[in-house]
Amino acid sequence: MNTVLADSPTSPMPTLLATFTGTDRPGLTARIFGALGERPVDVLDIEQVTARGKLVLAAVLDVTGDDGSVRAQLSDVAATLGLTVEFNSGHGDPAEPVERAHVTVLGAPLRPPAVAAITQRVAAAGANIDRIMRLASYPVTSIEFEVSGADPQELKAELAAAALDAGVDVAVQPSGLIRRAKRLVVMDVDSTLIQGEVVEMLAARAGVLEEVAKVTEAAMRGELDFGESLRARVGLLAGLPESALEDVRADVQLTAGARTLVRTLKRLGYRCGIVSGGFSRITDALAADLGLDFAAANTLEIVDGRLTGRLVGPILDRAGKAEALRHFAAEAGVPLSQTIAVGDGANDLDMIAAAGLGVAFNAKPVVRDAADTAVNVPYLDAVLYLLGISRADVEAADAADGYVTPSPPLPR
């Protein structure tokens, strides 16, 4: 008969979880751990959360021998500090590997039934919510859940239907270095980085908006591919003066949050680019204005100061956008797994599929279904929350750089 000694490496170590709750104030954590003095105790894990002046501090301790004296010592210091302490005994190292995921929820507004639906699905998947934190309270509410014990891909499938029913956006990403390491963001332009479609703005100036719209609708019905539809629409612009391009550029409106997104990403060392089925005269100006690293688009032919109705060079279509993403990544020295692609239309599907994280932004249903996650609020900087970047971090960086941050809306 083999006997396993109590201190054998194969036996899970006994641990003590001490959880303190009460009113927060400076110095509590130092007083709690200082009370243990020279006792034979190892700290295995600490988590602390404060919310509106209330503290929850949990410590997992490896206690050599009887833990009774440690409990008594911590109970005394808790009473002195006006805190409540609860003890739970257990076994094992809390740092043992376990599959983890980040679940980011976006709502405008975020209602209790939506939170209930999401968390119920997490529980039904056999996962546990280890930590919850708020990333933003305006102009959307964003809450991040750190979840353990579930496969991220399976969890994503579980939460997709719940998010749709609840009218919120949910992103599920594996925890770890992959999530933190994304270093290139490439965005579509029309209806993503900017509001509206440039070809329609040009068509309005040429007096052919209705005809262009009909071609666009035919393409959406699948009667024309992107290349055919683009050639047909550009053909309708023949004779338009070159100055119309500058007029349209002056009228282009960035999507809300676009400058904040780019400014924040650049501070963090990200490379940023745009890729468009539109026109380089517009995208090049946008890239210069925003300080983007990369830009790719189609080129209109101009002769004697007027559009000829033709394009110069190969058309940047669905496959071309994905190839542009690969080219930008190679030039930046970033693997595709560390790229993010953001778009709204079928022309963005290959790019979204190729990226490490594909984001559908106020997109068509086919794009939402294919993307890793969808953002359906009208603020492009909501993409930051998918990366775990909080609104408070953005505003603190803006303040340090002298940017004026808009005041939050009054409570409803």
CB burial readout 161-196, b (16+ within 10 A) else e? ebbeebebbbbbbebeeebeebbbbbbbbbbbbbee
Using pLDDT thresholds of 50, 70 and 90, give the confidence band for residue 114.
Answer: very high
Using pLDDT thresholds of 50, 70 and 90, give the confidence band for residue 50.
Answer: confident
Joined together, the tokens standing for residue 31 give 């007083």
Residue 74 CB partners (closer than 8 Å, separation 6+): 18, 32, 35, 36, 85, 87
Joined together, the tokens standing for residue 16 give 């003590």
The pLDDT value given to residue 221: 66
Using pLDDT thresholds of 50, 70 and 90, give the confidence band for residue 1.
Answer: very low
Q: How far apart are the first and last CA of the chain?
A: 70
Catalytic residue list contains 190:
yes
CA angle 33–39–42, rounded 5-degree value: 65
The average confidence (pLDDT) of the chain is 88
CATH topology of domain 100-175: Alpha-Beta Plaits (3.30.70)
The pLDDT value given to residue 76: 94
Tell me the per-residue pLDDT of 22-47, one tens digit each, with 9 for 90 and over. Answer: 999 999 999 999 988 878 889 998 98
Set 188, 348, 350, 372: catalytic member: 188
Cis-peptide, bond into residue 152, ω within 30° of zero: no
CATH class of 185-398: alpha beta
What percent of the residues of the chain are helix, what percent strand, and what percent coil, each to the nearest 5?
40, 30, 30
CA distances from 213 to 15, 29, 80, 140, 306 (A): 68, 64, 74, 33, 22
Three-state DSSP class for residue 25: coil
Is residue 305 within 8 A of residue 311, CB to CB? The reply is no
Average pLDDT over residues 211-219: 86
Residue 10 CB partners (closer than 8 Å, separation 6+): 4
Joined together, the tokens standing for residue 65 give 């021998």
Give me the sign of the Cα torsion angle 187, 192, 194, 198.
Answer: positive
Domain boundaries in the chain?
14-91, 100-175, 185-398
Token pair 């004296």 is found at 69
Please give the model's pTM, rounded to 2 decimal places. 0.81
Give me the sign of the Cα torsion angle 4, 6, 8, 9.
Answer: positive
Do the first three CATH levels of 14-91 and 185-398 match, i.e. the same topology?
no
Cis-peptide, bond into residue 139, ω within 30° of zero: yes
Residue 286, pLDDT > 80, answer yes
Catalytic residue list contains 401:
no
Is residue 169 within 8 A of residue 97, CB to CB? The reply is no
Joined together, the tokens standing for residue 310 give 């033709």
Query: Dihedral of the CA atoms 326, 330, 334, 338 (nearest 10)?
Result: 10
Average pLDDT over residues 123-149: 91
Residue 342 CA to residue 339 CA, distance in Å, equals 10
Residue 97, pLDDT > 80, answer no
In 38-168, beta strands by DSSP E = 41-51, 54-63, 84-91, 100-107, 128-136, 141-148
The CATH architecture annotation of domain 14-91 reads: 2-Layer Sandwich (3.30)
Residue 47 CA to residue 303 CA, distance in Å, equals 67
Joined together, the tokens standing for residue 372 give 């890793």
CA distances from 59 to 40, 238, 319 (A): 15, 71, 52
Of 295 and 1, the structure prediction assigns the larger pLDDT to 295
Residue 257, pLDDT > 50, answer yes
Set 24, 169, 190, 317: catalytic member: 190
